[in-house]
Amino acid sequence: MISFRKFFILLLIVGSVSLPILIAVDFLWNQKDTYTESLLQTFDKRQTDVLFFGDSSIRFFGSRDTNKSGIDLLFQSKSGLSVCSVANPGYSAVMYSEYVKLLDKTKYKPKLVIIPINLRSFTGSSIRRPALNFPLRQIYIRYRSKGVFEWADYLKFRFLGYEDTLTDYWKDQQVIYDGKELGTHRSIQEQSRIPESFDYNPERETLYAKQLGIKFRYHYMAVLAEDDAMFGYISDTINVLNKMKIPVLCYITPVNYIDGKKYVGDDFVRRIDKNLATVQYFMKKRQINIINLSKQLQPSEFIDKRDVYEHYTFVGRSLIAESLAKAVATLP
């Protein structure tokens, strides 16, 4: 009869071999990232002019929009250029820095990469939020770009609830902007919750003035410095593309300035303008083309206003696409 000690050792050996295999099978079966595969297939099959990065801002549409085309497709129509789009559901510059590494494996390269700068997601309210790092997608992208499966990290995030642990920790962190405590992420989200949509009911909007003021302050009014993490990811992305000699066009997405000032006051405008100046200085130092569309749209051209998202009506999306098409036409 086998001793308990030998049985335990045997169990450890079998587990050390079978566990990574089982994790790898789950990974390959369940975690395929459609944007990774689309990017690889597109630039392997044919020359495509533009790699267009985005998030929900380029795809979401208003319930009354008859034309539901995203900014990427409208840009393609207006510019006459072929486009491959990568648009995760949330803005994440870290994802852009991972996706561009896939181009090292493709036969063809884009002639231009377009990168949005979403000020709502350049603040402390979003930058360290675990969900916006999309850890499982990152693992898959790196697997496809480097051929290495990070099975231990996959185990943590897929089966051991590590993302939930990080999220709970993040939610209980104090939010401090310009020396002022706003509360924890959790308390701010609870205080500013709005139970109804009022995109097409402006008379209902004023009922939630307090909550909207909290949201605009929380999402936009962190002090933005050049050493913030988002700039690091943008810089990594640009460095990879520079090595491939692929030009970049960045654009600052429209901000609802008018409503921000309405519900927060002049401090909102001053902080946004200072943060914009930081972004533009960062790009200028690196000789990156950038266009500023932050003040292009009126409040009526924003949707999902109860969450102060940078989501737009068809009119708004069309204006953004038109501006991008004109900017691309003037590039050398």
What's the pLDDT at 40? 98
When pLDDT is cut at 50, 70 and 90, the band that residue 8 belongs to is: very low
Model pTM above 0.85: yes
Superfamily of domain 23-329: SGNH hydrolase (3.40.50.1110)
- Among 252, 254, 250, 251, smallest CA distance to 302 is for 254
What's the pLDDT at 125? 52
Residue 318's contacts (CB-CB under 8 Å, 6 or more residues apart) are 74
Q: Is the pLDDT of residue 19 over 80?
A: no
What's the pLDDT at 89? 85
What's the pLDDT at 43? 98
Amino acid at position 194, single letter: I
The predicted model gives 155-181 an average pLDDT of 91
What's the pLDDT at 12? 45
Q: What is the pLDDT of residues 94-148, one digit of tens each?
A: 999 999 999 999 999 999 999 999 999 876 555 578 888 899 999 999 999 999 9
Q: How many CA atoms lie within 13 A of 219 on its CB side?
A: 23
Q: What is the pLDDT of residues 256-298, one digit of tens each?
A: 999 999 999 999 999 999 999 999 999 999 999 999 999 999 9
- Among 262, 269, 313, 330, smallest CA distance to 294 is for 269
Q: Report the alpha-carbon distance of residue 294 to residue 267 in Å, rounded.
A: 16
Q: What is the mean pLDDT of the chain?
A: 91
Q: Cβ–Cβ contacts within 10 Å for residue 309, how many?
A: 19
Instruction: Check: CB of residue 59 under 8 Å from CB of residue 100.
Output: no
For residues 73-111, b (16+ Cβ closer than 10 Å) or e, as one string? bbbbebbebebbbbbbebbbbbbbbbbbbbbeebeebbb
The predicted model gives 183-197 an average pLDDT of 95
Q: Report the alpha-carbon distance of residue 268 to residue 217 in Å, rounded.
A: 7
Q: What is the pLDDT of residues 49-97, one digit of tens each?
A: 999 999 999 999 999 999 999 999 999 999 999 999 999 888 889 999 9
Handedness of CA 288, 125, 271, 321 (dihedral sign): positive
